[in-house]
Chain A
Amino acid sequence: MLKSLQIEPEKCTGCLQCELACSYHHEGVFNPSKSRIKVFTFHHEGRFAPYTCTQCAEAWCLHTCPVEAITVNLTTGAKEVAVEQCVGCKVCTIACPFGTINYQVETGKVAKCDLCGGDPECAKACPTSAITYVDAEQTGYQRMRAHAAQSIKSL
């Protein structure tokens, strides 16, 4: 079963445990600025929103890469950057409509979410289940269920 990250912003408290887990897994240090998932705080609205790559089926980053450094992991569906191949041209960062692939100055390469090989650290670290890793064909399941629960109340 192919899985997807599912993000429910209304559950997020803005603690950044996901950013710590992501950066530690990928970089070996706790460093929010190197995280591939970001939590955005909208202070005056009192809202937090984690955001990361949705792993587009037709991934523009992948199609636009001139050196074919971005490939599909057939097990997880993640679009992964082959670091040794990446030349740091940044075209993918322009192509991505969501801004979720970014250049790293220290390495001269781009970095993006790779679903940690099928066991995403951000989802495991999230204390409120705002980030979960679920059946890719059922990402609407919980929301549907909540609406279904609403509808039986009026029966």
Chain B
Amino acid sequence: MAWTGNVLRVNLTERTCSKEPLNKDWALSYLGQRGLATKYLTEEIDPKIDALSPDNKLIMATGPLTGTPASTAGRYSVITKSPLTGTVACSNSGGFIGMEFKNAGWDMIIFEGKASSPVYLYLENEKAQLLPADEIWGQSVWQADEWLHNRHQDPLLRIAAVGRSAEQGCLFSGIINDLHRTAGRSGVGTVMASKNLKAVAVRGTRGVGNIKDPVAFMQAVNAGKKVLAEGPVTAEGLPTYGTQVLMNVINEVGAMPTRNFKDVQFEGAAKISAEAMHEPRPSDGKPNLVTNAACFGCTIACGRISTIAGGHFTITNKPQYRGASGGLEYEAAWALGSDTGVDDLDALTYVNFLCNEDGMDPISLGSTIAAAMELYESGAITIEQTGGIELKFGSAEALVKLTELTAKGEGFGREIGLGSKRLCEKYGRPELSMTVKGQEFPAYDPRGIQGMGLAYATSNRGACHLRGYTVSSEIMGLPEKTDPLITDGKAALVKAFQDATAAVDSAGLCVFSTFSWTMADIAPQIAAACDGDWTVDSLLETGERIWNLERKFNLDAGLTGADDNLPERLLKEAAKTGPAKGKVNDLAKMLPEYYQLRGWTADGIPKAETLSRLSV
């Protein structure tokens, strides 16, 4: 129960859509969304395939709680093999389309093959059709969204689409839904575009029911909402400031990667912070932030809706960017701002709009531009190669120009679209790429937050903060405070966060709920909704099972323990300022203990007894 029990299989090569029953045994072992779809993926594709070949599959999956009033349960994920990292990719998005899939009666949609010409999937409850998308191929997500709403004369359609960057092969393109929500990381949009699939338009009116014990469920849901309404981060910090609440905090603790991780504190942080987004600006007396906004069913509402100051150079003669749209989250503000040294809030907001309009992951985009800036300043890239762009740290003009080019796959933007690893390799300076397994780092310097170094090195999708967010413990003291500058106990902490997060994702919940919820708040909601025996322990074991399944996929794809590493800069160049001054990341002190706690060999391979214990 709570699952709809239906899977939609869309064969793009044959242009067929067929319904099949959900594998309930797998659902009871892997819960839903991230875990369950990864199970499907590992059973259906050879991990060694080329991620951009028709042999790859792309799964859009909801969790059992998606579409219910459990707070934050509006999420869906896209699971596929990543073209950026060669690992399993699982990119999670909020907004409303996950709920709509569920209301249309589907737990997941599996796309396979490749269409011979551009198509989109139109889904109205049971009715699934592949329709021609030639008219919107070559258009931005925002243009495609408008066209689809007009074509179907249905303002209630929910749409997920890829932008021009994905069509042009940018390796970090995401899938945008509801105009400004993104399954952002690891190039899942690039895979979608490689299949000639431009968009999914869905309308569901069947409702989400099938709750195992509705009375117990509503009690658990209401209790959960109350906890979120009383927790300081979920009740105050996130609604008021969004994730940007972290900008000044992380800068103060000296863990704000700046100018491609050359520095760990950014002198311009205050100018691009949450507080700055609240300040009335000189041009029109209005703040950057218009309002906060919720994803479906979320009682936190951390989303930002922003405008760009009238008269700012980015929107001269561009009236289409003068309205409000999705504003800066911390990760985007950091990657596009601190990491490139740009402190112009309006320029960052504009670039963020472009990331939404054409489906680029702002973390990878900002980080790759930052790497390009260092390549340029060190002479590895010349102004002839950039097409005349002066790629200097701190240049808002360069950031804006390169983003516009990358969005359309033009000029030097095509090279930015390769991502930091391939770009730095191409220009002979691989050590300047701040990546793990080919994916760019997010906004926490592991010299100042030791546990994050291990979390990045071992993340199953390459560098990522959402696989094990030990920042919560090391900086915010949730659920309990640990010292960010020491390595003791971090192996266990990382493992605990990784396992819990895999379970939270797989339920269809948002990981931000865990700033107030513990697994003891989450388990009763899942247990009341779903068949099976869902307790704190069984959820953590499920998370561990998922983690090992993802790991196994990556090893089968050809990765090894040697890929659980960090760039030399973080291991050898000490932080220059702040509380972490003089520190590097001590990954080597944490990794062997982590492998041991995981039940893996010294080479990072899950032991047979571990896989057997978890029934992987």
A contact residues vs B (CB 8 Å cutoff): 13-17, 20-21, 23-24, 27-34, 43-48, 125, 127-128
Question: In the complex, are the beta carbons of A13 and B207 less than 8 A apart?
Answer: no
Given A33-B207, A44-B323, list of 20 further CB < 8 A pairs?
A13-B294, A13-B298, A14-B293, A16-B294, A16-B296, A16-B297, A20-B297, A30-B68, A30-B69, A31-B103, A32-B99, A33-B205, A43-B179, A43-B323, A43-B325, A47-B290, A125-B69, A127-B71, A127-B299, A127-B301
Residues of B within 8 A of A16 (CB): 96, 99, 294, 296-297
B179 touches A17 (CB 8 A): no
User: Can you give 8 A-B contacts (C-beta < 8 A)?
Assistant: A16-B96, A20-B297, A30-B69, A31-B208, A43-B179, A43-B325, A45-B324, A46-B324
Which DSSP category, helix, strand, loop or mixed, fits chain B's interface?
Answer: loop
Q: Is B292 within 8 A of A13, CB to CB? A: yes
Interface size on B, residues (CB 8 A): 36
Query: B156 touching A43 by the CB < 8 A rule?
Result: no
State how many angstroms separate the Cβ of A33 from the closest Cβ of chain B. Answer: 4
Query: With an 8 A cutoff between CB atoms, is B229 at the interface?
Result: yes
Residue of chain A at shortest CB distance from B179:
A43
Asked whether B69 lies within 8 Å of A17 as measured between CB atoms, the reply is yes
- In chain B, positions 63-117 with a C-beta closer than 8 Å to chain A are 67-69, 71, 96, 99, 103
Known contacts A15-B297, A17-B299, A46-B305: A33-B292 contact under CB 8 Å: no
Closest to B239 in A: A13
> With A43-B179, A46-B291, A46-B324 given, is the CB distance from A34 to B207 under 8 Å?
yes
Cross-chain contact B205 with A34 (CB below 8 angstroms): yes
Would you call B209 and A17 a contact (CB within 8 A)?
no
User: How near does chain A come to B496, taking the closest CB pair, in angstroms?
Assistant: 29
Q: Which residues of B contact A (CB under 8 A)?
A: 67-69, 71, 96, 99, 103, 156, 179, 204-209, 225, 229, 239, 290-299, 301, 303, 305-307, 323-325
Assembled-state Cα–Cα distance A46/B206 (Å): 29
Residues of B within 8 A of A127 (CB): 71, 225, 229, 299, 301
Enumerate chain A residues within 8 angstroms of B298, measured Cβ to Cβ.
13, 15
Contact A31 B307 (CB under 8 A): no
Nearest opposing residue in chain B for A106, CB measure: B205
Query: Which residues from B are CB-within-8-Å of A33?
Result: 103, 156, 204-205, 207
Q: Are B67 and A30 in contact (CB under 8 A)?
A: yes
A-B contact count (CB 8 A): 87
In the bound complex, how far is the Cα of B67 from the Cα of A32, in angstroms? 9
**How near does chain A come to B222, taking the closest CB pair, in angstroms?**
9
Contacts of A45 in B (CB 8 A): 290, 323-324
Distance in angstroms between the alpha carbons of A45 and B324 in the assembled complex: 6
> Chain B residues with Cβ under 8 A from A34's Cβ?
205, 207
Contact A23 B294 (CB under 8 A): no
Please, how many angstroms separate the alpha-carbon atoms of A1 and B71 in the complex?
A: 33
Q: Please tell me which one of the listed residues B68, B293, B307, B325 contacts residue A13 in the complex, with CB atoms under 8 A apart.
A: B293
B317 to chain A, nearest CB (A): 18
A51 to chain B, nearest CB (A): 14
Q: Give the chain B neighbours of A21 by CB distance below 8 A.
A: 69
Q: What 4 A-B pairs have minimum CB-CB distances, sorted nearest first? A: A31-B207, A44-B323, A29-B207, A46-B290
Write out the residue numbers on chain A whose beta carbons fall within 8 Å of the beta carbon of B303: 13
* Chain B residues positioned under 8 Å from A24 (CB to CB): 69
Q: Is the CB of B208 within 8 A of A15?
A: no
Chain A residues within an 8 Å CB radius of B71: 17, 127
Residues from chain A with Cβ under 8 Å of B293 in the complex? 13-14, 46, 48
Task: Kindly list chain A residues whose C-beta atoms are within 8 Å of the C-beta of B324.
Answer: 43-46
A103 smallest CB distance to B (angstroms): 13
Bound-state Cα–Cα, A142 to B498, Å:
46
CB-nearest residue of chain B to A125? B69
